[in-house]
């Protein structure tokens, strides 16, 4: 047993002493979303937040300003260029382009075209999402995705948008995290329209809950749009950005909720659209420790400021699982962490990229990696509390941007196409130096609710670095 233990220790230590070079054609990127960064946008999210239904919004400085990506997109695009990434992911706002049912605003599409061309003029490819957690006011008033009529409306505006921008966009995402949207909007009620319905997560022979109705309508609209684009011989690469989590059992009676989450949160939507995808977009933030109903904090894991369990090993496992299940090339469309102090983000970034590198070496065709996010922004139900950005924003000082240390570390990795053991060791030292010290978090003690202002918490002494499974 002593010999086996020594062998495992040596194998573990050896993984920290090597460099990781990415394939020559591997694409690095950054991302944002219209509802989170665009000014001059009075959409359902803005109304929801103004009504006091969003945490850390009304108490923030200039909360309605967002990042001026509509009026001054060059600020963010120049930061991305300085970073050196090859892909800039953004989204269209459905309400801007379709302010009324059956009506397309081509002036809005023209403005988006100008932004796309600015991205490309700065040497980056454009990845564009149609749906990124926001639908028009008129759609919400008509029942949103619980109304089958929205399927054809999505196909109409999606088709017109792709046709108009086909020469300006390199990758299309129809839906970003439809599973999360269906759950938070139609069951938990923490996203617009804000109607809580615990029965929405139930499906039995004579009853189909709102989660399933909404998710299945989104899948139907994706499939219809994909087929229409291909029938029109528009040569666009089309995928989804699907939220995945490494769901784990935790405590009594969690087996059912864990199995439910794997089946319906991880697999249901991609199972329904898999034959109509050119690539699988894959969002991953960590593990979720399940209880009988919902999630809880685990002593086995460390968490970011937004309450996500840090688990780079889980990313590797999910990449393997999803490729074995769907046999599609994968684009990591989102991965990142909330870290206002930026003391563990460098290591988080490095360890997750090493997980990606290892998956590629093991045969998973990963096309690229997109970091969420370039700049601190409006984080949905959590408002402005969690800081996901490689760049910080001073909301009291004319939205002044300041690149964090992680910005420069990511830039170095992108430009050299390699992670060095020196970078890895240096980043992890910053984490170890903060073991058992106090930091701030934006998640309440129940692991589920956001906070208007962060609370204090102890940063655990846990080694969450990526290590490959022992080959014994």
The catalytic residue positions are: 177, 334
Burial of 110 (0-12, 13-18, 19+ CB in 10 A): exposed
CA separation for the pair 249, 253 (Å, rounded): 9
The pairing of strands 87-91 and 27-31 is parallel
Burial of 408 (0-12, 13-18, 19+ CB in 10 A): middle
Q: Can you list the pairs that 387-393 forms with residues at least 24 positions away whose Cβ atoms lie under 8 Å?
A: 387/305, 387/338, 387/339, 387/340, 388/306, 388/336, 388/337, 388/338, 390/30, 390/83, 390/345, 391/79, 393/67
Q: Is 102 left (phi over 0), alpha (psi -120 to 50) or beta?
A: left
140 neighbors 95 (Cβ within 8 angstroms): no
CA angle 443, 34, 406 (to 5 degrees): 55
- Nearest CA to 149 among 163, 135, 167, 132? 135
Distance of CA 294 to the CA centre of its chain: 20
């Amino acid at each position: 047993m002593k010999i086996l233990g020594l062998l495992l220790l040596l194998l573990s230590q050896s993984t920290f002493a090597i460099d990781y070079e990415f394939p020559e054609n591997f694409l690095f990127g950054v991302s944002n979303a219209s509802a989170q960064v665009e000014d001059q946008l009075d959409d359902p999210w803005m109304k929801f937040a103004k009504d006091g239904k969003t945490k850390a919004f009304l108490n923030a400085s200039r909360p309605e300003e967002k990042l001026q990506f509509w009026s001054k997109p060059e600020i963010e695009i120049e930061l991305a260029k300085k970073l050196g990434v090859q892909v800039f992911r953004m989204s269209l706002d459905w309400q801007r382009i379709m302010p009324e049912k059956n009506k397309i605003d081509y002036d809005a599409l023209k403005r988006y075209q100008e932004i796309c061309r600015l991205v490309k003029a700065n040497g980056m490819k454009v990845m564009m999402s149609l749906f990124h957690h926001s639908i028009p006011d008129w759609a919400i008033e008509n029942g949103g995705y619980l109304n089958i009529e929205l399927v054809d409306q999505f196909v109409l505006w999606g088709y017109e948008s792709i046709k108009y921008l086909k020469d300006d966009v390199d990758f299309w995402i129809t839906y970003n995290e439809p599973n999360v949207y269906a759950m938070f909007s139609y069951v938990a009620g923490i996203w617009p329209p804000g109607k809580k319905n615990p029965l929405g997560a139930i499906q039995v022979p004579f009853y189909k809950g709102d989660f399933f109705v909404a998710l299945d309508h989104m899948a139907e609209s994706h499939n219809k749009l994909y087929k229409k684009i291909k029938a029109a011989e528009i040569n666009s690469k089309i995928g989804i950005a699907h939220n995945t989590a490494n769901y784990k059992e935790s405590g009594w009676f969690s087996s059912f909720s864990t199995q439910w989450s794997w089946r319906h949160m991880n697999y249901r939507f991609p199972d329904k659209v898999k034959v109509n995808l050119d690539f699988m977009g894959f969002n991953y933030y960590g593990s979720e420790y399940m209880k009988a109903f919902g999630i809880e904090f685990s002593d086995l894991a460390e968490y970011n400021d937004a309450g996500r369990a840090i688990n780079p090993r889980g990313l590797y496992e999910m990449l393997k699982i999803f490729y074995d299940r769907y046999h599609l090339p994968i684009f990591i469309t989102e991965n990142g962490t909330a870290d206002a102090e930026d003391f563990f983000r460098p290591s988080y970034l490095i360890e997750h990229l090493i997980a990606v590198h290892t998956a590629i070496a093991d045969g998973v065709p990963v096309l690229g990696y997109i970091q969420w996010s370039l700049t601190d922004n409006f984080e949905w139900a959590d408002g402005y509390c969690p800081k996901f950005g490689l760049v910080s924003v001073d909301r009291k000082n004319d939205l002044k941007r300041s690149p964090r240390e992680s910005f420069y570390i990511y830039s170095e990795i992108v430009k050299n196409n390699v992670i060095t053991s020196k970078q890895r060791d240096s980043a992890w030292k910053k984490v170890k130096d903060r073991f058992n010290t106090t930091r701030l978090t934006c998640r309440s003690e129940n692991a589920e609710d956001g906070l208007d202002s962060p609370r204090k918490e102890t940063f655990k002494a846990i080694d969450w670095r990526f290590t490959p499974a022992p080959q014994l």
